[in-house]
Amino acid sequence: MSEPRANAYFDHEHVTVIEPPRGWHMLDWRELWAYRELLWVLATRDIKVRYKQTVLGAAWAVIRPFTTMLIFSVVFGALARIPSDGLPYPIFVFAGLLPWTFFAGAISASGGSLVGSAHLVSKVYFPRLIIPLASVGAGLADLLVSIGILLLMMVWYGVPWTWQLLAAPLLLAALVFTALGVGTLLSALTVAYRDFTHLTPFLVQIWLYVTPVIFPVSIVPPRWQWLLYLNPMSGLVEGFRAAFLGRPFDLLGLSISFATAIAVFALGVSYFEKVERRFADII
């Protein structure tokens, strides 16, 4: 190319500069949908890695909550005699353990997901939110298997299947929504402050004992129950019990927990989107 023609070429060249948005903003659903195949690949990868080179394989999805249920039934049901609203304690605590086990596993996995995927984050562009979202989605397979065990336990204990089971998909969506909000917040904080790598397991332990998994909400005086429902997992755990065990829904408690879950989701995603542009530099 001669020199005059080369100068003319560069004079008319269009240069596109991609800059990350500044300030607080919410989720870009269209961009996430465009990368849905990557989300599916990462979620299936996480499921395969979880049970790779294990002797029992996917059976661990049943063994962990079932063993926890047995221990809790002996310690809190038989020895401590914690009430269970007239239900057999094993099925009472197992119905609460299902959403809690999913939530605890999802926020633990998504909290360290960005740091664990540093080789991807630092080399190629894609919505970083895909990584914690895939970590949350990977736990859904275990939850669905455990729900099958709960349905069999209902038959064993003579708990009838009622129309309230139709509420389970809505509660499941709210559970994923809550786990995604907390998980994205923890994943972003872990990139900037590695203290959260050590803090997250401790947070999960404390959170369990302020969630009505091993005790019913009814043992808390009615005038203070709204404080318990500020914990978004309280409403979801009680909602799961109502849907599967045929107990009445506490609509006020569910409303308080849903409102808190929405606030947590908005805070988590907004903070994640705000600091996302710095991930590649500090991870």
Task: Give per-residue pLDDT as tens, 36-86.
Answer: 888 888 888 877 777 777 777 677 778 888 898 899 999 998 898 888 888
Mind listing the pLDDT tens digit for each residue in 186-201? Answer: 888 888 888 888 888 8
- pLDDT tens digit sequence for 109-166: 888 888 877 777 777 777 888 888 888 877 888 888 888 889 999 999 988 898 999 9
- How far apart, in whole angstroms, are the C-alpha atoms of residue 240 and residue 174? 11
pLDDT of residue 223 exceeding 90, the answer is: no
**CA 250, CA 73: separation in Å to the nearest integer?**
25
Tokens 């991870």 found at: 283
Q: What is the pTM of this model?
A: 0.82
Helix axes 195-209 and 168-192, enclosed angle (nearest 10): 150
Phi, psi (deg, nearest 5) at residue 231: -75, 115
Structure tokens at 222: 């009615």
Question: Cα separation of 245 and 241, whole Å?
Answer: 5
Q: How many CA atoms lie within 13 A of 257 on its CB side?
A: 25
Is the model more confident about 11 or about 238? 238
What are the CA-CA distances from residue 47 to residues 41, 136, 146 (Å)? Answer: 10, 11, 15
List the one residue out of 110, 115, 103, 90 whose CA is nearest residue 207. 103
